[in-house]
Structure 1
Amino acid sequence: MHPSQDNTGTERAATSGEPMKHHQVAVIRRLPHPGRGFTQGLSTDGTNVWESTGLYGHSTLRRYRLGATEPDWIGPLDPTYFGEGICRIGTHLWQLTWREHRALRWSVSNHTLVDTVPLDRDGWGICHTGTHVITSDGTSELILRDPHTLRPLRTLPVTYAGDPLPCLNDLEWAGGRIWANLYGTAYLVGINPHDGTTTDLVDARTLHTHEPANPETWMNGIAAHPTGGFLLTGKHWTRIYHIRLTPDHNRIHPRHYTDMSTLCLGSQLETHASTTSTEIGTL
């Protein structure tokens, strides 16, 4: 018996005992992606969007109103920094850098760089749970941190069907779950914050098909919208999509592969028909 199944064939969320939920995305709104940047992180309050863009010599933090066609402010990073994930905590915003092991703290109100602090790992994604900050570094481990200093507090190994789940990239917190882009794919996962088991798998490939065919245009950038659903975009994408999750009846079935690293970098996934998905209408 596969570790993600019970003896009736019902999928389980690895060891947590929760039924695994499989989702597709339904588009609520299609919005411009101002500047079409190399998106590494996204955050919104429902009216304004903050976006982190990457690439050495081109990394920025930028702000724009949701629905605008151009940013209303762009803050360039030092050319030695490669911008990564962002999250807002009160009046400040954290922005990670990739291999520089530095995190930048920005003032939201006046767009000034307030502080730079050391980081013990590569920076990929970051989110705020209300009590902790959580960061990713492209591996199967998430790090819970002090939200004010980013001091590491504990490591959360993430698993899918009992196996380590690599390629965790941009992060968001919504509905009591950590949501993560899987690097190099058009998939998201929902993660139990207590034991690291994968509870949700989201197939967003329908969004990617509307964007330019380019090796760099992977989906990246996820932000929970205050009215429900998520904002999703990608590197150099033409649009930001406000989406909600709906049941996926042609869901991916984990028993068809054993190495979840095959998810990364665009590998195709096998599908298996099912009708047991559950819609998350409140995220």
Structure 2
Amino acid sequence: MYKFKYFIVILLNLFLVNCASEKPFFSVKTSAKNNTIKLGSTVKLSLNNPEGVNINSVVYKLNGEIVSETLSLKNVKLGKQDLIAEVISGNDTVIAKSNLIVLNNKRPDLYTYEIVNTYPHDPTSYTQGLEFYKGELYESTGQYGQSKLRKVNYETGEILKNVDLKSGYFAEGLTVLNDKIYQLTWQADTGIIYDVNTFEKLGIFRYDLSKEGWGLCNDGKDLYKSDGTAKIWKLNTTTFTEDDKIEIYTEKGKIGRLNELEWANGKIYANIYENTGVAIINPENGAVEGVIDFTPITTQISNYSSNDNVLNGIAYNSETDTFFITGKRWDKLFEVRITKK
């Protein structure tokens, strides 16, 4: 009896598999070469129906929103977009999936800088995050067993406040919002919250969809977090869920290894890890609108290394309308004024 029941179960499973395989096959086609198109362009969508089955209806969706067969890409985010077609054929509903890559439609503008002042910087600080808040400079430093949160007198280099992190934490970026310091750790899935005045630890938060903590900034309401990829995540400061994200693209492709972040004048300034360039990013769609090459400034650092003591630290001082630039274990902090070439 047991063998008979087992035989019936096998037949039933085979029947279900065969029924599922009888659903028609469709795929989404686009008029874009390699499914890659630039912002502001128009792309035509169509359905590939190799079996020539009868179709009742087709609904196209881009990132979950219904779109027409002639799709305008004027007000969309850059990067990989989820493109699907919901196809009804007879009694079957079939989902055909594809992707569309949206690039920026112009080259980034080139920016340059003028050094306004040079200040001392602690050469033992493996700088990961740098930010001004109410005229005071705060710094996060990394490495296991050496990670710290600091308040620094930027003119003298004096350490005004210091908190050592537990040895299991590798500190990364930080930002300050509403008298709270938010500090990331690298691979511990943990962000730490402090009182900006006392450095008292107020709590922690866990990462959501992103796997690592790299850079952090804020727009006065939400946090923006990099994770070492081409993505920047938007965090809700109440739930700490990653409610939204942008992918960072130029007119040629994506920019990965985004690290330290700074919000200034409605844009995100992002340091690219192990690179002397800083990208100026549109936070709405992820477009790289400008780039700054800080290669010349590295010649003033005696221990500069392109794969260790790299540029990493961007802070905007709204009181002076200048940026402060440093790096990992640099002995100098540079105040610069950034202008378009």
Fold match, TM over 0.5? yes
Give me the TM-score of the superposition, normalised by structure 2.
0.66
Could you tell me how far apart the structure 2 residues matched to 1:55 and 1:230 are?
A: 25
Amino acid of the structure 2 residue aligned with 1:216: D
- How far residue 116 of structure 1 moved from its aligned partner, in angstroms, is 1.2
Q: Distance in 1 between matches of 2:238 and 2:116?
A: 35
Residue 96 (str. 1) matches residue 184 (str. 2): yes
SS at match of 1:207: helix
| SS at 1:159 equivalent | coil
For 1:213, the equivalent position in structure 2 comes to 304
Relative distance call for 1:63 and 1:17 in structure 2 (3 A) is: same
1:116 counterpart = 2:211: no
Name 1:177's counterpart in structure 2.
267
Instruction: Name the amino acid aligned to 1:167.
Output: R
Shift of 1:15: 5.0
Q: 1:203 aligns with which of 293, 297, 302?
A: 293
Q: 2:139 aligns with which of 44, 51, 59?
A: 51
1:70 corresponds to: 158
Tell me which stretches of 4 or more aligned residues in structure 1 moved more than 6 Å. none
2:221 to 121, 125, 131: 131
Aligned length: 241
> 1:32-51: CA deviations, max 9, x gaps?
11354000000113642110
Which residue is equivalent to 1:26? 114
Q: Which has more strand, going by share of residues?
A: 2
**Contact 2:182/2:191 (<8 A) preserved:** yes
Q: How much identity, in percent, do the aligned residues show? A: 28
Residue of 80, 86, 91 corresponding to 2:174: 86
Match for 2:329: what amino acid?
Answer: H
5+ unaligned residues in a row in structure 1: which ranges?
Answer: 5-12, 248-276, 278-283
Q: Deviations over 1:106-131 (max 9, x none)?
A: 10111111101111320000100123
Name the residue aligned to 1:250.
Answer: none
Residue 71 of structure 2 corresponds to none
Counterpart of 1:281? Answer: none
Partner of 2:324: 231
Structure 2 vs 1, CA of residues 19 and 53 (structure 1 numbering), >3 Å: closer, same or farther? same
- What does residue 236 of structure 2 align with? 146
Q: Distance in 2 between matches of 1:127 and 1:140?
A: 16
Alignment of 1:157 onto 2:157? no
For the pair shown, which has the larger CA radius of gyration, 1 or 2? 2
CA distance, structure 2, for counterparts of residue 69 and residue 196 of structure 1: 35
Shift of 1:201: 0.5
SS of the residue corresponding to residue 198 of structure 2 reads coil
1 CA distance for matches of 2:184 and 2:239? 13
Cα pair 1:34 1:64 within 8 Å, conserved? no
Q: Is the 1:47–1:66 Cα contact (8 Å) retained in structure 2?
A: no
Relative to structure 1, the CA distance from residue 114 to residue 174 in structure 2 (aligned partners, 3 Å threshold; closer, same or farther) is: same
Match of 1:27, as an amino acid? I
Q: Match for 1:39 among 127, 149, 158?
A: 127
Tell which deviates more after alignment, 144-153 or 52-61.
144-153
Letter in 1 for 2:263: W
Q: What is the distance in 1 between the residues matched to 2:304 and 2:267?
A: 31
Q: CA deviation at 1:238?
A: 0.7
Identify the match of residue 222 of structure 1 among 306, 309, 314. Answer: 314
RMSD of aligned residue pairs (Cα, Å) = 2.3
